[in-house]
Amino acid sequence: MATMIPAVSWLRACWTLLVCCLLTPGVQGQEFLLRVEPQNPVLPAGGSLLVNCSTDCPSAEQVTLETSLSKELVDNGTGWAAHRVSNVTGNSRILCSGYCNGSQIIGSTGITVYRLPERVELAPLPPWQPVGQNFTLHCQVEGGSPRTNLTVVLLRWEEELSRQPAVEELAEVTATVLAGRGDHGAHFSCRTELDLQLQGLRLLVNTSAPRWLRTFALPVTPPRLVAPRFLEVETSWPVDCTLDGLFPASEAQVHLALGDQVLNATVTNHGDMLTATATATARADQEGAREIICNVTLGGERLEARKNLTVFNGPKIDRAKCPQHLKWKDKTRQVLQCQARGNPSPQLRCLKEGSSQEVPVGIPFLVNVTHNGTYQCQAVSSLGKYTLVVVINIEGELTRGHGAGLASPGGGGVRDRGGRILTSRFLCTARNSHFVPVLLAVLTTLGVVTVVVALTYVFRARKQRGLYHVRQESPSLPLTSMPTEAMREEPSRVE
């Protein structure tokens, strides 16, 4: 006979010894039994119990409960006594004793104490589990007794994946699970079962907090990216990124970018297919070689597609940096300041209208009258061309202009390759429509000069007689002012 009291104290050892000594002789001469009710009770740790000691012996005396547990008498009668035993923290044995016809009679029972586990915990699952790969469920169970009746069950929803006894005080139970698509969003949990059904209790169950699993599948191929190879600044073009074989496609994240510019993508999915579309608009500062990037992220993994793209400007000539009306003096060094920009870099040439005569751009050169004219400045690249008209006026020298112009209107001119007379030192100052009035003016002047000469002659004759006024007035005649005024007009070609 051994007690099951865990904390063995000296007092308890003595008590046990006493029980044994009392019990042995009594069993033989016992006609009446001392009943202990209930028999083999099971109660939770710290619980209490009503114990009834009773006998059918008509002359029963001193019926009582003998225990080291705390007890109190609840009620008694002839041949019985009921006690409440409280704070039962461990398995114990209790004893009832009494006297019948002067002989001691006894009865006993064991008390089984059970405890529910203090902790049942399913370890966190991987945040994303690849489909087709194993993962492990870990369940930890702390406390709980009696251990022999404690079982740990791992569950997917209500499906039992594994059932194992909890042996150690801190028991860890594991199960390997092959992840499938069906496990996406599945609920996993761990359950302990304390089975004391033979002792008349229902199944005592404790369940861990549930864990949800997310599974995913990514194809091995990168996304298919459809994007333009060339994109002009400030223009828009659609960009498409598609990926098939993605599970669950609805949870994939798509990132579309043009260089460092994130594109606002519209994402749609049909089954395992995901499509992201965006409109790419290149900024001026993005000119040059860029990349269109599409990355698809799912389950912490990323698939990326990149495509090279050239952001270009069609060629342009900056009007602000290219004066369109130039007035240069003949025989001076000048620079035609013009700049073209674009990507790829355009070639800039300025050719005279109607001829292939070219003026150097950005390089000093000696100006002469042949440069007079209208030029088509053209910036050309593989992506297009841009034209700006530049007019160059060459101003001849005043002093040299007079005589030559008067002498031969045509002779002082310069012919271009087309055989046209471009300018003459004098006539470059006169427009075609002015030619006749000028000629008339010249002829008139000649006439006036003739008259003046004649008058002078007459006046000289008079001077000899003491009269002389006209000579002083002669410089005021508008003879010489004509060519000077005409010189100031813009030069022009004469056909």
Ligand X SMILES: *[C@@H]1O[C@H](CO)[C@@H](O)[C@H](O)[C@H]1NC(C)=O
Binding residues vs ligand X (CB under 6 A): 52, 54, 70, 75, 80, 82, 87, 89, 133-134, 146, 148-149, 176, 178, 195, 197-198, 255, 257, 264, 266, 293, 295, 297, 302
70 beta partners: 86
Of residues 149 and 378, the one with the C-beta less far from ligand X: 149
Rounded CA gap, 420 and 494, in Å? 8
Angle in degrees, CA 22, 25, 28, rounded to 5? 135
The minimum distance between CB 126 and ligand X, in angstroms, equals 14
3 state SS of 471: helix
Q: How far is the CB of 206 from ligand X (least distance, A)?
A: 16
Select 170 or 262, whichever has its Cβ closest to ligand X.
262
Question: Measuring CA to CA, how many Å separate 459 from each of 451, 456, 465, 478?
Answer: 12, 5, 9, 21
360/357 Cα distance (integer angstroms):
10
Closest CB to ligand X among residues 63, 388: 63
Helices (H), 101-248: none
- For residue 62, the minimal CB distance to ligand X (Å) is 16
Q: H/E element holding 441?
A: helix 435-463
| Cα distances (angstroms) measured from residue 255 to each of 9, 274, 275, 305, 420 | 72, 12, 11, 10, 65
Residues 392 and 372: their CA atoms lie apart, in Å, by 5
Whichever of 293 and 377 has its CB closer to ligand X, that residue is: 293
Per-residue burial over 387-424, b if 16 or more Cβ lie within 10 Å, else e, is ebebebbbbbeeeebeebbeeebeebbbebeeeebbbb
CB of 167 to ligand X, least distance (A): 13
Q: In terms of CB distance, is 70 or 480 closer to ligand X?
A: 70
Return the residue matching tokens 């995901």.
274
d(C-alpha 213, C-alpha 391), whole Å: 77
How far, in Å, are 120, 132, 238, 243, 247 from residue 219 at the CA level?
Answer: 38, 13, 25, 8, 9
Q: Cβ 76 to ligand X, closest distance in Å?
A: 8
In the complex with ligand X, the residue whose CB is nearer, 50 or 458, is 50
In whole angstroms, the minimum distance from the beta carbon of 82 to ligand X comes to 4
CB of residue 130 to ligand X, shortest distance in Å:
10
Least separation in angstroms between residue 63's CB and ligand X is 10
**Least distance (Å) between residue 13 CB and ligand X:** 17
Min separation Cβ 178 and ligand X, Å = 5
Least gap, CB of 235 to ligand X (angstroms): 17
The nearer residue to ligand X, 87 or 101, going by C-beta atoms, is 87
Choice between 63 and 190, CB closer to ligand X: 63
DSSP state of 439: H
Q: Say which residues have a Cβ less than 8 Å from residue 464's Cβ, sequence separation at least 6.
A: none
Torsions phi, psi of 291, nearest 5?
A: -130, 145
Of 53 and 122, the one with the shorter C-beta distance to ligand X is 53
| Alpha carbon distance 199, 366 (integer Å) | 121
The distance of closest approach from Cβ of residue 390 to ligand X in the complex, given in angstroms and rounded to an integer, is: 43
Comparison of 89 and 104: residue with beta carbon closer to ligand X: 89
Query: Among residues 50 and 406, whose Cβ is nearest to ligand X?
Result: 50
User: How many Cβ atoms are within 10 Å of 299's Cβ, its own excluded?
Assistant: 21
Residue 223 burial class via C-beta count within 10 angstroms: exposed 0-12, middle 13-18, buried 19 and up: buried
Identify which of residues 85 and 340 has a Cβ nearer to ligand X in the complex.
85
In this structure, which amino acid lies at residue 198? L
